[in-house]
Amino acid sequence: QVQLVESGGGVVQPGRSLRLSCAASGFTFSTYGMHWVRQAPGKGLEWVAVISSDGSNKYYADSLKGRFTISRDNSKDTVYLQMNSVRAEDTAVYYCAKDPSHCGGDCYFFDYWGQGVLVTVSS
């Protein structure tokens, strides 16, 4: 069965960096696009970034202003989110999510989600 397990969360000071990881299993990772989605405390869901199956295409939410970078290592079945210059408003649960990728490319919705990892930005 599909499993997505995030790690790397925790408390980080404003302006510092953090890297999240998401280890995938139960499917052929290298053939699916992957996303990060976040949920701030008491708020709704916010899409963060997507990376195509081979890593050649990456897209981000406008609100991130170039501070985050998504990447993947298909040899390790893992997707990453590098978070730089973090701000208080980046405090959220971060979910990695799998794209069904059956739309002649990525579908841009999410058929499986990890349990999420909490990132708290605080001094």
Are the CB atoms for 92 and 39 separated by under 8 Å?
yes
Write each residue from 49 to 88 as x if it is in contact with another protein (CB under 8 A), else as -, in one continuous string.
Answer: -x--------x-xx--------------------------
| Residue 43 or 123 with smaller CB distance to another protein | 43
Instruction: For residue 97, give the H/E element and its range.
Output: strand 92-98
Asked if 122 interacts with another protein (CB under 8 A), we say: no
| Residue 16 or 58 with smaller CB distance to another protein | 58
Residues 14-43 that bind another protein (CB under 8 A): 37
Q: 105's torsion region: left (phi>0), alpha (psi -120 to 50) or beta?
A: left
Quickly list H helices, 1-123: none
Residues 85-114 that bind another protein (CB under 8 A): 95, 100, 106-114
CA-based nearest residue to 122, from 90, 95, 94, 97: 90
Footprint on this chain of another protein (rule: CB under 8 A):
37, 44-47, 50, 59, 61-62, 95, 100, 106-116
